[in-house]
Amino acid sequence: MARIVVDAMGSDNFPTPDVEGAVQAARDYGVEIILVGDESIIKPVLDKQNTQGLSIRIVDAPEMLSMEDKGEKLVLKARSKDARNSMAVGVDLVKNGEADAFVTAGNTGAGMVTALFRLGRIRGVDRPALAPIFPTATGTCVVLDIGANPDCKPENLMQFGIMGSIYAEKVRGVKNPKVGLLSNGEEEGKGNELVKGATPLLKSSKLNYFGNIEGKELIGGKVDVAVTDGFTGNIMLKSSEAVAKLITDRIKEIIKNGSILTKIGGLLVKPALGEIKKLLDPSEQGAAPLLGVNGLVFIGHGRSDAFAIKNAVRVAKQAVDVKVLDAIKVAIEESLKN
Q: Three-state SS for 63?
A: strand
Looking at this protein, which amino acid is placed at residue 283? S
Distance CA 222, CA 212 (A): 11
Say which DSSP state 187 is in: S
pLDDT at 65: 73
Looking at 35-107, list the stretches that DSSP marks H as alpha helix, in order from N- to C-terminal side.
39-47, 71-79, 86-95
User: Model pTM?
Assistant: 0.91
Looking at 129-203, list the stretches that DSSP marks H as alpha helix, in order from N- to C-terminal side.
154-170, 193-203
Q: For residue 202, which phi and psi values (nearest 5 degrees)?
A: -70, -40
Q: Three-state SS for 62?
A: coil
Cβ atoms within 10 Å of 109's Cβ, excluding its own: 17
Where would I find the beta strands (DSSP E) of 91-188?
A: 101-104, 129-130, 133-135, 140-144, 178-182
18, 298 Cβ separation under 8 angstroms: no
pLDDT at 78: 66
Looking at this protein, which amino acid is placed at residue 229? D
Q: Three-state SS for 308?
A: helix
- State the DSSP H helix or E strand holding residue 296, giving kind and residue range, or none if neither: strand 296-299
Q: Domain residues of the chain, as ranges?
A: 3-129+285-330, 132-234, 237-279
Distance CA 92, CA 262 (A): 55
Residue ranges in the chain whose pLDDT is less than 50: none
Q: Three-state SS for 288?
A: strand
Q: Are strands 288-291 and 129-130 parallel, antiparallel or unpaired?
A: antiparallel
Distance CA 164, CA 327 (A): 11
Strand order in the sheet with 296-299: 56-60, 32-37, 3-7, 101-104, 296-299, 288-291, 129-130
Instruction: Give the CATH class of 3-129+285-330.
Output: alpha beta
